[in-house]
Each structure stands twice: as C-alpha cells, then as structure tokens.
Structure 1
Amino acid sequence: MPLIENKSFSSIIKHDELDCLHINHPDFFAEICLQGAQLTQFKHRLQGDFLWLSPTVQYKQGQSLRGGVPICWPWFGILDKNPSSVTDCVNGPQGSHGFARNQCWELSNITETQDSVMIELTLKHSQQSLAVWPFKFELTCRFTFSEKLTIELITQNLDEKVFTISQALHTYFPVDDISTVSIHGADSHKYVDALDDWQIKHQQQAIQFNQEVDRIYLGNIEYKFKSEHECFELNSNSHSSVVWNPWINKSKTLSQFPDDAYQSMLCIENANVLDDVITVKPNQTHTLSMTLIKR
C-alpha cells in the first residue's frame, strides 16, 4: 500500500480476517479497520483509553465489530423506523445501520506530524451498493488524532439525483461503573424513548442508568459525563444523538458482548436521525463531525 511506505507511525497489520491500520505515535495508539472504516481503539499515553472495545470482539469479514466507532450510513438503525425520505431510496428489505460499516474502504490520505496524525478513508459507489441504494457517492471518514479525537464523516453526492440519508458515529465509551455515571448537557432537551413506544419525553436532569436506555435526543447537545475515573466532553455539529446502554437482559442477546459488559460501557451516538435527516443535492457535500476530549 503506497501511502503507508516511509511513514513513521502508521502500518497495516492483519487481525484474523481483517486488515487494520495501526498508528503507533509517541503520544498515542490507534487502530482503524479498513472494513467499515471502524475506529476500534484510541489510547493516549497520558489520558488512557478514549473508546470501549469488547473483550470478546471478533475481526470477521462482513460483520461490524462490537466497540469503538462503527459508522452507520446511509441509514441509521432499523430501516423501517426511518422517515420515508430515507426508506424510499432503498431497494428491498435491508439490515440495520446501512451498508458502509461492512464494506472495505480505501486508505486515501495520511499526514503525520510530531503532535498529530490525520487519516482519511474513502468509500465509493459500486455495483453492489447501487443495487441496494441507487446513487453515486463518495464517502470520506477523516480521523485526526492528537490530545483529542476528531472524526468527520463527509458525504459527497456524485449523482444527478438528490438523496436523503440518516447516519451516526456509533461511539462506545469506557466507564468504571455504569451505575455511577452522570451525563450532563441534555437537561431540558426532548427525547424519543425507543423502549416506550417511541414517546416524546423531556429530560429534567442528568442522565443516569439503572435500567436499559435507548433514547434519541433532539437538538445540538454538548455532552459531559463522568464516572469514578473517567471524564469526557463530546461535541458535534448534529442536531440529534442517541444514548444507549443494553443493561442486563439485552446484554445476554448481543453478539461479541459478555453478559456483564453493560457495566463498563455506554454509547453516545452523534447522528442525523428522525427529522434531522440530511438531504444532499448533486455535487454537494455534507459533513457530520464530532470531537472527543478526555479530562
């Protein structure tokens, strides 16, 4: 792979069935699977792990890994739960979270400095994608690693037709003990409770966990959350986000997920879902971005 040659910090390794990009910088380590452009690990030398990765994760072709930051695109979640502007673009019944997370992306750019590393991976339309979603596109995911983590998911419409997408950066976070976590920032925001017949409710105080949580929060939210030894700040340009923890019963049904793993993780997914879906005109682009800081 020519872009890797003569790089100081970046290399390609094989994990079971998947090719992965390893970034061994003096200040941090990161791993990105070329399948799905999925960031699985980012560990800063001083600040520790930014992401949670399942201890039973499997590096298999055709399936997303449990943990890190899976990319959901060009639809999020169960297809039928999306607005008609999204579902009408898709041919036939399809699985959850779109097709981008199971495709092999191309490494398109690497920039290394003494303080940071920037990686770009690109996915383009193919005969396979056109059969499912009949639009020409170029999708780029740009990762910038430094003392913080920034991810930009850039959708470019190369077609002659307008298309509409829902999407998410499905980020898994490590926590010491889920029962001690308090998430701030969503106070006074509305949310859709996916576990209670999709009712709209109001968040009155910090988000805490004593049962399964699956909520779509509405509006642009700057999240701050902490447990005993972990403290994060998460910012995004999106106007919807998902907070999720499977709790006890659902954990027993999830793949690549130990029964007690719900105690040490949570997900906050920067997204464009429900009324926040994105319409992209021909020759235009849209960028979904997030920045994660650990204190």
Structure 2
Amino acid sequence: MAERSDKPSTTLAPGQWSFTRWKTIGQLEALEVQHPLFEAAITLQGAHLVHFSHSNEKNWLWLSDLARFQPGRAIRGGIPVCWPWFGDPARNPPAIRAHVKTPSAHGFARTALWQLEDVSESAHEVEISLSLNAGDEFHEVWEGHALALITFHFSLRGCQIALTTTNLAHAPMALSQALHTYLPTPDITRTRLLGLGNSQYIDTLKDWNYATQDGPVYFMGETDRIYESGDVLVATTPERRTKLIGFGSDSTVVWNPGPEKAQRLSDFPDTGWRNMLCVETANAAGDYRVLNIGQSHTLGVLIERG
C-alpha cells in the first residue's frame, strides 16, 4: 500500500481544489492533476487513468496515438478497468457466465460514466475517488447489483489504484476483473518482466494449456497469458524499471498483441506493439472471487519506479 504523509490531507469542494481541475479530453469529461511533484489525468468515463508522471517527465503509461476519447468507446491505453468480468465471457467460470448477457469482453465499467466522490489534496499527495453503482441500468448485459469504488492515490512515490467491489444484490455474486495497465517501452524485444519465474500460467494462444514460466518473461511476438501469481513484478525496458505491487490479486495477465493482431485492433497503430506491454493486476481464471451479500473485495496495484 502507498505510504501516507504525516500531514493530514484536506478535502475540498469543486472549485476549491489547489491542484485538481476539470478538463475536457476529446469528448470526455476528465479530472486533471497538476501538482508541483506530479501530474495525472482521469476520465470519468471508465474511471480511466490516462496519464501519470512526475513533473516534467514522460507519461509512465502507454497511450495509443490513435486513442479516441468518445462516449461509449473504450480508450486504448492507460489503465482500463475491466469489471465485473474480465476477458471473453465464454472463457469465464460458470458462476460468472450465468450472469453475463453479452459476448462483449472485459465488462461494462470501462465505458460507463462514473461519479466523482471525493478529491483530497495536500502538499505531498492527491487522492481522487470515483464510484459506479451498477444495478438496473445494466440489466441488459448483466444480472447483478454492485457498487464499485475506485481510489487513485498520487504521490512522488508513484500511483496507487484500489478498486473495491461491494455486493448489493440479494444473492452471492461472482466476478473476475483486472486493472489493465499499459506500460511503454522503446523496444519490446529488449524488454523483460521479472517476478513470474516458476509460476504456472495459462497460454491462451495455445488452446488455453498450462505451462511453467522459466526465468523472466521475454516478448518475441504475440503474448497472452494468465499467470497464477500475484507477486511483485518489475518491468525492465531500455529506458526504465517499473515496479508493480498488487494486492487482492493472485493472478497476473501479461499481454502484447504482436505484429499480426496489432493490425486488427481498433485505435491501435500497426507498429504499436513494439512500444508497449500490458501487465494486468487481476482476479482472472481460477482466481475469480465470490462475494456474499454485503461483502466487499479490494483489488489494487501500486506502480512505482523499480
């Protein structure tokens, strides 16, 4: 979890914030943070973090040059919130499939409009919370009722995201989910991911068969794996080392579309696969979670320099 400063932060109403302001990105309403120590931007659609960096630095996240900020359209890059199911519904456990009424992947949270709950600022940090009350409004695609609360904590140490789901339905609820973090690299072939050695994983490109990771993960082409691990990870590129510390997670998704799939993806440059990788803090495959009535679960990740 992110460290807190000794000084208490102050909660302020809109218009009284010192470092946070409303901004329009494309056609989407967003919150922009311009702090002396760091910068960030979050769209209300999808509760989607599209930028975080220390001041006067490059974005710590990869964002497609072709990303379109339009209502109802998922943003390519940043950190999409995949919720209340992850991936293809047909590949999810029966308890999740029973409540999904659409073949669309990754749930509806990433295109839904979230509500601002709170902005809290201090000289050292900014915290922003958004909520999504998912009930009857989504009955055409999902049978359930849950409250999702996401909190972004920005500081000089890095960026922490915590996504808390509370089951508001009158029956147990199963969910899979992921914080789908896109990271930049100048060269995917000189990039490796540390921390998954000896972990078992599902290789979705090889008929969902299991394999065991031997040493670091290297990227030689299309990669799409679900690792049975929630350990601390370090992504090493020719430019930087990024550490990802997950919590509430025992699974990690590692993805790069490779050259062929990149040409079929929407809002994705044909050569974009060379400059990105996804390391997703997840509750996926056998790591899906079941919440009893009124029960909550928090999935989160702290992203810092390795």
1:226-268 CA-to-partner distances (Å, cap 9, x unmatched) read 1111111111121001000111111111111111111111000
RMSD: 1.3
1:155-174 CA-to-partner distances (Å, cap 9, x unmatched) read 01112211000000000001
Q: Match of 1:111?
A: 120
User: Of 131, 136, 146, which aligns to 1:127?
Assistant: 136
Q: Match of 1:81?
A: 91
User: Of 257, 274, 282, which aligns to 2:268?
Assistant: 257
Q: Match of 2:254?
A: 243
1:121-177 CA-to-partner distances (Å, cap 9, x unmatched) read 000024321333232221011000012110000001112211000000000001121
CA distance in 1, matches of 2:45, 2:246: 24
Structure 2 residue identity aligned to 1:51:
L
Q: Match of 2:153?
A: 144
Q: Structure 2, unaligned stretches of length 5 or more? A: 1-11
Structure 2 residue identity aligned to 1:95:
S
* 8 A contact 1:50–1:294 mirrored in 2: no
User: Of 69, 78, 85, which aligns to 2:79?
Assistant: 69
CA distance in 1, matches of 2:272, 2:95: 36
Give the alignment of 1:2-21 within 5 angstroms.
3-21=13-31
CA distance in 2, matches of 1:74, 1:22: 26
* 8 A contact 2:243–2:304 mirrored in 1: yes
Structure 1 residue identity aligned to 2:251:
S
CA distance in 1, matches of 2:91, 2:70: 28
SS in 1 for 2:259: helix
Structure 2 residue identity aligned to 1:159:
A
Q: CA deviation at 1:46?
A: 6.3
Q: Match of 2:243?
A: 233
Q: Match of 2:301?
A: 290
Q: Match of 2:5?
A: none
SS in 1 for 2:205: coil
Q: CA deviation at 1:49?
A: 2.4
Give the alignment of 1:140-219 within 5 angstroms.
140-147=149-156, 148-219=158-229
* 8 A contact 1:130–1:136 mirrored in 2: no
Q: Match of 1:274?
A: 285
CA distance in 2, matches of 1:214, 1:114: 41
CA distance in 1, matches of 2:195, 2:159: 19
Q: Tell me, yes or no, if structure 1 residue 98 matches structure 2 residue 107.
A: yes
1:10-42 CA-to-partner distances (Å, cap 9, x unmatched) read 111112221011111111111101001000110
1:59-115 CA-to-partner distances (Å, cap 9, x unmatched) read 01101100000000110011100000110122x333110011111000001100111
Aligned length: 293
CA distance in 2, matches of 1:51, 1:216: 21
* 8 A contact 2:135–2:146 mirrored in 1: no
Aligned-residue identity in percent: 35
CA distance in 1, matches of 2:280, 2:227: 10
Q: Structure 1, unaligned stretches of length 5 or more? A: none
Q: TM-score, normalized by length of structure 2?
A: 0.93
